Structure 1
């Protein structure tokens, strides 16, 4: 992936993270598969119950990447949200937007820690929460990942064995039916 694409994905994820916080929502994990440097799209986690369902939902993010034959993926998540939803300990800075860039040969973890600040107050006395980005550690090749995130990366590069004339198309439709928000780029639109 070239630097311009990486920078655009990071900026997009920071903007989405801030928008979720401003709306009072916890940022949900997002996977962005790429094929030969072309972004396939963004797949956002479906609503999930705390515990095993959340773990399964994160792992299932890999389905579109696997069906597309992705050679790279970027997965973004919030440290605290994934830990709370999956019943796991918090590992690493929190709050923190994490982005991992992976290929079948390995991954590099990028952490963007932040502090939450209240925005302008509403008449009720509460304002939206906004991230204030803190100094980020350098990229971490092979950095420690939450187990469901690691599994999602592994399965992203495991070919799906679907007996269907359009494995990519049927996978996208099934993911949407399950509640995942799937936004494909024009190149990969069905």
Structure 2
């Protein structure tokens, strides 16, 4: 993947996170972007889940899209504290951050974008307190960095041969039928 694509995907993750915090008081749900030969094939965003096994399984299940599309790279974005709560785990890091994984079959890098929450006035339409991130200095990316178990499973299964849907359109349809948000792109 080239630097322009990488910067665009990180920008999408951070912008989505910022807008969700402002509009709904929530954070970016785990999101997987699948690429092949440097071209974005589309993305899948986690469905609504219950805490614990459902969240862990739901996150890993997003790999269906990348595996069916025969992706050779994935980018995954998630929020540190959110995934720890959803998966009923101790957080890998004590602070809030949007994490972005860049992975291929043989290697992965973990990038962390820490932030402090700044509360905004008022309430969202569902009674949540809106806020916005104040982005903090970024630590250097970590080659083969430690991952939450569900993200590690997502990464592993994204590159495994897939016996189910034979193409990204079929996988997208199946995932949407099960509550995931999926958007396909048309690679050049």
- Shorter-chain TM-score range: over 0.9
Shift of 1:128: 2.2
Greater than 6 Å deviation, 4+ residue runs: none
Range with bigger deviation, 21-30 or 140-149: 21-30
Shift of 1:118: 1.5
Residue 7 (structure 1) aligns with:
7
Shift of 1:92: 1.9
Residue deviations 1:11-66 (CA, integer Å, cap 9, x gap): 11100001111121232100001010000112100000011000000001111000
Secondary structure of the 2:98 match is strand
Shift of 1:93: 4.6
**Contact 2:35 2:72 survives alignment (8 Å):** yes
Residue 140 (structure 1) aligns with:
142
RMSD, aligned CA: 1.8
Q: How does 1:117-128 map to 2 (within 5 A)?
A: 117-119=118-120, 121-122=121-122, 128=130
TM-score normalised by length of structure 1: 0.92
Residue 177 (structure 1) aligns with:
177
Secondary structure of the 2:187 match is helix
**Contact 1:96 1:111 survives alignment (8 Å):** yes
Give the length in aligned residue pairs. 184
Q: How does 1:5-154 map to 2 (within 5 A)?
A: 5-22=5-22, 23-119=24-120, 121-122=121-122, 128-154=130-156
Distance 2:168 2:62 in 1: 14
Which sections of structure 2, spanning at least 5 residues, go unmatched? none
TM-score normalised by length of structure 2: 0.92
